[in-house]
């Protein structure tokens, strides 16, 4: 296993009187996909916001612990410094700049990185390679894109900063299974190109299939952690995140999301987690 690029130790965070995270520790290996699973309100988004330095925009703050990226402390840094360090977050719900064109959204993504004009051009080519549809829609207003296209734009925009670590908050949220599978393929491709990924998902089957390691958050603490295969095989994860007593879903998670393309009978491989 490769060395950890991100180390979170004893992290606590909250929104005023609301404690959202307490003593969360996890490591993200370089060059791999790490998944964070958990139900609604478990603290997944809070964890990503703490790393990206944007808690204060939601009225939150880190109250304890440390976040270390490539040997550099990130906790207490402002969002711009975190981006400059090479960590970029794609927010939950995509949050593209709806009134700006696709091209300007991508430009906005490059604002925080200091890679110069050449770097920006290279990043744009990489993004268009991953998401050809963005190249076709480059002059269109982002608000007019479909949900799936907006997710691609949100990811492309983040890649414009050429991050070493990409934080993804529920990229499959609200997408049809086919589109979710395509996003999953792209995440794998991005990772293959050398970008480490910390993937927050409620779609456990999708996430465990992509990740090498995973943690499960429950009410703000790490309840389980291990390799993706271990978690996919664990009773608790099968029961709570891969569908109650549903052997199929768990089996699908292990068999791989790609197999889903062969299922033309509409069998629901991509299952939403239900409380």
Partner 1 sequence: MTTFLELLITGISLGSVYALIALGFVIIFKSTEVVNFAHASLLLAGGYFAVVSRDTLGFWPALLVGIAGAALLGMLLEFLIIRRYRGRDHSVLAIVTIGIDIVLITELARRIGPEIFSYRDPWGNTLVQLGPVSIPQTRVAAFVVAGALITVFLLAFRYTSWGVAMRAAAEDRGTAALMGVRLGWISASAWAVAGALAAVAALFLSVFPTTGLDRETGLIALKAFPAAIIGGLDSTTGALAGGLIVGVTQSLATGYQSELSFLGNGIGDLAPYLVMVVVLLIRPAGLFGTRELSRV
Q: What's the CA angle centered on 228, arms 247 and 79, to 5 degrees?
A: 130
- Of 2, 3, 23, 41, the residue at the interface with ligand ATP (CB under 6 A) is 41
Contact 21, 43 (CB under 8 A): yes
**Does residue 84 contact residue 23 with C-beta atoms inside 8 Å?**
no
> Per CB under 5 A, which of residues 21..50 are in contact with Mg ion?
45
Integer Cα distance of 43 and 21 in angstroms:
6
223 and 217 Cβ atoms separated by less than 8 Å? yes
Q: Please give the radius of gyration of the chain, using alpha carbons only, rounded to the nearest integer.
A: 18
Contacting range for partner 1; rule: CB under 8 A; set: 67-75, 78-86, 145-153, 247-255: 78-86
Binding partner selected for residue 213 from ligand ATP, Mg ion, partner 1, none, CB under the kind-specific 5 to 8 Å limit: none
**Can you name the residues that pair with 4 across neighbouring β-strands?**
29
| Closest residue to Mg ion using C-beta atoms | 45
Question: Per-residue x/- marks for ligand ATP, 55-94, CB under 6 A?
Answer: ---xx--------------------------------x--
Work out what residue 161 binds among ligand ATP, Mg ion, partner 1, none; the CB cut-off runs from 5 to 8 Å by kind: partner 1
From 2-10, 68-76, 80-88, 261-269, give the range in contact with partner 1 by CB under 8 A. 80-88
Q: Which does 42 bind (CB under 5 to 8 A by kind): partner 1, ligand ATP, Mg ion, none?
A: ligand ATP
Of 95, 97, 88, 80, residue with least CA distance to 164: 88
Q: Are 225 and 26 in contact (CB under 8 A)?
A: yes
Query: CB–CB of 65/75 below 8 Å?
Result: yes
Contact status: 111 vs partner 1 (CB under 8 A): yes
Residues 6+ apart with CB under 8 A from 111: none
> Minimal distance in Å, beta carbon 244 to ligand ATP?
18
Residue ranges in contact with partner 1 by CB under 8 A = 52-54, 56-59, 78-80, 82-84, 88-89, 91, 95, 97-100, 104, 107-109, 111-113, 157, 161
Residue ranges in contact with ligand ATP by CB under 6 A = 15, 18, 20, 38, 40-46, 58-59, 92, 202
Residue ranges in contact with Mg ion by CB under 5 A = 45, 92
């Amino acid at each position: 296993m490769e060395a950890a690029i991100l180390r979170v130790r004893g992290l606590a965070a909250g929104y005023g009187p609301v404690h959202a995270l307490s003593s969360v520790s996890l490591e993200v290996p370089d060059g791999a996909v790490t998944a964070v699973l958990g139900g609604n309100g478990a603290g997944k988004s809070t964890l990503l916001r703490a790393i990206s330095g944007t808690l204060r925009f939601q009225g939150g703050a880190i109250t304890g612990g440390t976040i270390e990226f490539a040997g550099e402390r990130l906790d207490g840094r402002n969002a711009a410094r975190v981006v400059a360090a090479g960590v970029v977050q794609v927010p939950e719900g995509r949050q593209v700049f709806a009134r700006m064109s696709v091209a300007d959204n991508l430009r906005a993504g490059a604002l925080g990185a200091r890679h110069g004009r050449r770097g920006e051009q290279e990043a744009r080519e990489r993004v268009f390679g991953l998401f050809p549809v963005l190249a076709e829609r480059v002059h269109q207003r982002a608000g007019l894109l479909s949900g799936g296209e907006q997710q691609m734009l949100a990811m492309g925009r983040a890649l414009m900063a050429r991050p070493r670590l990409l934080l993804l908050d529920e990229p499959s949220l609200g997408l049809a299974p086919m589109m979710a599978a395509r996003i999953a393929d792209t995440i794998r491709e991005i990772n293959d190109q050398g970008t480490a990924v910390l993937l927050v998902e409620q779609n456990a089957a999708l996430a465990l299939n992509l990740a090498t390691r995973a943690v499960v958050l429950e009410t703000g603490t790490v309840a389980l952690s291990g390799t993706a295969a271990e978690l996919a095989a664990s009773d608790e994860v099968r029961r709570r995140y891969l569908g109650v007593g549903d052997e199929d879903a768990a089996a699908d998670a292990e068999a791989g999301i790609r197999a889903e393309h062969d299922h033309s009978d509409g069998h629901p491989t991509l299952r939403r987690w239900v409380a």
